[in-house]
Amino acid sequence: MREASDIRNVAVIGGGYVGRGVALQFALADYRVLMFNRSPQSAARSRAEIEKSLGILIDADALDDKQARAVSGRIAQTQDFREAAGGGDFVVEAVSEQLPLKQEVFEKMDAIAPPDVILASETSGLGMTDISARTRHPERCVVTHNYTPPHLVPVVEVAAGRRTSPDTTRITCELLENAGKEPIVCREVPGHIGVRLTTALRREAYHIVEKGYARPEDVDAVWRSIASLFPALGLCKLNDFSGMDVLRDVHRNIQPSLDHRPQPGPLMDEMVEKNLLGLKSGEGFYKWTEESAREAARARDSELIRLYLKNNALERKTERNSDS
């Protein structure tokens, strides 16, 4: 297997919301990236979104114009699957979250990529054991699940399948660290760590709206306020501040009334049937115009950049203090 220090070219299969973010993440870390899109139209959309993201970084003084042009220049695009799958020292799949499709893509990548190249999946909930079931080299297949936007959210979950080799996991973590990420190795379980937490949170948010306990904007207002606690401490450490005895009583009182249905509730089905899909359809819980969507994304990215730069400054200060 190629060591992390030998990896300079990253291929990304799929240039959608996640794929283009992964491409930008590696390009910002000085890797050359080849991104596969199925059509010239989707490639143009990916490029336009990457340029928008770079523009936000420029506005936040995280990059200057020259640096942004260099980052953009490190991302090449192709509609040739074989060129992409065979052209990377590390290959990342970022296609739709459908097991048959991911299995097909991995089977093709495995047949094309040199045997010492790691194949990674950006799946948010599927397991690599299943995804790599049709490959001849499952030992080089691993999950690397980023959170969007990947270039601004440091954490990435790394999950091996049952046949993934330890070297594959080790090299993948080293590569991600070299790219400025924070890899967290977790067991193979649906949803890894973060998606299990956010799915539970979304399920209860939908339940609150469905039952008429509160409006979507009220749910968001409460969450925006209390969510500021979590970056400071995390979930389990915050638990220690509250006290397990206190929280046991809270759970006894509240947990029976939470949504325990094994399948998505009717609110989700109703919204999908009415094409209330969110930004992509112009309306979800909120109505969206192109301008309001752009402003919301800019506000999100600007806050993430602020936190990212603040955390980096704190880390550098800590390193200086430890060296003195």
**What pLDDT is attached to residue 97?**
93
* pLDDT digits 0-9 by tens, 157-210: 999 999 999 999 999 999 999 999 999 999 999 999 999 999 999 999 999 999
Bridge partner list, 182: 155
Select from 282, 260, 284, 288 the least CA-distant residue to 270: 284
Q: b/e map of 34-49 (b: 16 or more CB within 10 Å)?
A: bbbbeeeebbeebbeb
Strands 155-160 and 182-186: parallel
Q: Give the global pTM.
A: 0.87
Select from 147, 256, 268, 250 the least CA-distant residue to 205: 268
**What pLDDT is attached to residue 318?**
44
The residue type found at 208 is I
* pLDDT digits 0-9 by tens, 216-239: 999 999 999 988 888 778 889 989
H or E segment and range at residue 304: helix 290-323
Query: ∠263-265-266 over CA atoms, to 5°?
Result: 130
Average of per-residue pLDDT across 279-297: 93
The residue type found at 64 is D
pLDDT band per the 50, 70, 90 thresholds, residue 321? low
Domains belonging to the chain, first-starting first, are 4-186 (3.40.50.720), 196-305 (1.10.1040.10)
